[in-house]
Amino acid sequence: MGAGVMKSGGGGSRRRRGRRGRSAPMSEINVTPFVDVMLVLLIIFMVAAPLLTVGVPVELPKTAASALPSETEEPLTVTVAIDGTVLIQTTEVAREELVSRLRAIAAERSDDRVFLRADGSVPYASVAEVMGALNAGGFSSIGLVTDIGGPTLDGSGG
């Protein structure tokens, strides 16, 4: 990675003084190893970046519904964990503070869409409570997040 060595002296007709094969330091920097390392790092980060999405571990129910189209603004996600705790994005929120926090968030956002993730074993009454709080907090478009590949009503999925 450092400087190389370049032989001094050239043609055979020159007269050499001193030691034979004397070398002078080469002043150019070899950038090839630097470019190789940068390309490897670029590939590593391109592969690793999609894997860095942070979320709350929830076992989502499976359905035959297709995915919603993506938006320009980061979607707001509310999660109901298996133990009944409610999280906005990754921050745990007490149920008493949920509506006030949602109103504050709704005032700052241009989109009224929110995604509700609930563990499949959470009682329906608890999910309905959170949906009511979302509506009271100013979010009228609630999308339920599920995993794809679940059963369909005609029995063809599974």
Task: Answer whether 0.75 is exceeded by the pTM.
Answer: no
Percent of the chain with pLDDT over 70: 73
Sequence-distant (≥ 6) Cβ neighbours of residue 119 within 8 angstroms: 58, 59, 60, 80, 81, 82
The whole-angstrom separation of Cα 74 and Cα 57 is 19
Task: Judge contact between 1 and 30, C-beta under 8 A.
Answer: yes
Q: Quick: pLDDT tens for 5-27.
A: 555 555 555 555 555 667 878 78
Task: Judge contact between 97 and 85, C-beta under 8 A.
Answer: no
Per the listing, tokens 């989502």 go with 60
